Amino acid sequence: MSKIFRTLVFLALGLNSALALAQELKPFVLASKGPGDEAQKIEATKAALTQAGFTVAGSYSPYANVTVIGVTNDELRNTAAKTEHGGFGAAMRVAVTKVKNEVQVSYTNPPYWASVYRMAGDLKDTAAKLQTALGKIEEYGAKGMSAAQLRKYHYAPFMEYFDEPNELASYPSYEDAIKAVEAGLAAGKQGVTKVYRVDVAGKKESLFGVAMKGSGDNKMMDDAYLMSEIDFKDIKSSAHLPYDILVSGNKVYAEYARFRIAVSFPDLSMMGSNSFMNIMKSPEAIREALALTVGGKKDAR
């Protein structure tokens, strides 16, 4: 009997492991929703994050009724250091969004983004701390993908993978690259400004969250315009913002918009209303604005 019991336990453990490996992940977590004062909810959210051991790196309001908060902790910074371009995952984003008479609090789902950025860990400790601090109703934002699928994700044939970032500029050293990025963001001439900076632990790598504002011919790179086209569901995916710039060594990178936007909204249709077709010019507009901001060339690839 004991042998049969051990066999059953072994099979059950194997099945649970297989299910865990195949678990479908979604890009965002809805922490809470309900009536409340937006300003009070923002302050309470920041306080809860700080109490849970997170560092609030910065925040901004990309458009009315939305505030996005960039946060980091030791696990994020240390895990980011272990892989190439892991710095893209050195921060998580928390959003407070007012929708009619309801305030929604949401955040980027750490295991999802750990897989997207091919990090050496699943960031489950960070996920648990965010859940403790803010709550968790559900994961949302896509039908879901496994960690294996996310680590090799691209939206469609001939579109970019994570390991094909756009090199915006290069400099003699990391210090020179940081100086150029900070100066460009402070000047804001291309409508791109700094929201936060997170330095990866023990590595010459820094992540910048950046706000993007444009109008007229330049509206295709504008945060508000982009989200008005793609973030149309009842539960908002405001934590898609802000966009990222990564300084790694002496080079400055950004994920291609066809990857960065698609991996946040993988179920978005290619054509029709609220589709990628409506923001078809955005990837080039974003690339141009970011490249010129950090001292690169207009056609940086």
pLDDT of residue 212: 98
Helices (H), the chain: 2-21, 38-51, 74-80, 110-116, 124-134, 147-151, 174-187, 223-230, 257-264, 282-293
| Residue 147 CA neighbour count, 13 Å, CB half | 18
Check pLDDT > 80 for residue 218.
yes
pLDDT (tens digit per residue) in 54-81: 999 999 999 999 999 999 999 999 999 9
Q: What is the chain's Cα-based Rg?
A: 20
129, part of any domain: yes
Number of domain units in the chain: 1
pLDDT of residue 18: 43
219, 229 in Cβ contact below 8 A?
no
Query: How far, in Å, CA of 120 to CA of 131, rounded?
Result: 21
Check pLDDT > 60 for residue 6.
no
Other beta carbons within 10 Å of 210: 27
Q: What percentage of residues in the chain have a pLDDT greater than 90?
A: 85
pLDDT (tens digit per residue) in 156-198: 998 999 999 999 999 999 999 999 999 999 999 999 999 999 9
Query: How far, in Å, CA of 181 to CA of 188, rounded?
Result: 11
Check pLDDT > 50 for residue 150.
yes
Indicate the residue type of 23.
Q
What tokens were used for 152? 């090799």
- Report the predicted TM-score, pTM, of the whole model to 2 decimal places: 0.91
What tokens were used for 113? 């983004």
211, part of any domain: yes
Other beta carbons within 10 Å of 76: 30
* Strand, coil or helix: 268: coil
Q: How confident is the model at residue 89 (pLDDT cuts 50, 70, 90)?
A: very high
What tokens were used for 301? 């690839």
CA dihedral 47, 45, 79, 287 (to 10 degrees): -130
1, part of any domain: no
Q: Residue 221 is part of which domain span?
A: 25-293
232, part of any domain: yes
300, part of any domain: no
pLDDT of residue 2: 53
Check pLDDT > 90 for residue 114.
yes
pLDDT of residue 86: 98
Query: How far, in Å, CA of 181 to CA of 248, rounded?
Result: 12
9, part of any domain: no
Q: How confident is the model at residue 17 (pLDDT cuts 50, 70, 90)?
A: very low
Query: How far, in Å, CA of 227 to CA of 246, rounded?
Result: 22
Query: How far, in Å, CA of 246 to CA of 200, rounded?
Result: 10
Check pLDDT > 60 for residue 11.
no
DSSP 235: S
225, part of any domain: yes
pLDDT (tens digit per residue) in 243-280: 999 999 999 999 999 999 999 999 988 887 888 888 99
Q: How confident is the model at residue 88 (pLDDT cuts 50, 70, 90)?
A: very high
What's the rounded mean pLDDT across residues 217-235? Answer: 95
CATH number, position 285: 3.30.310.70
What's the rounded mean pLDDT across residues 93-114? Answer: 98
Residue with the bigger pLDDT between 26 and 6: it is 26
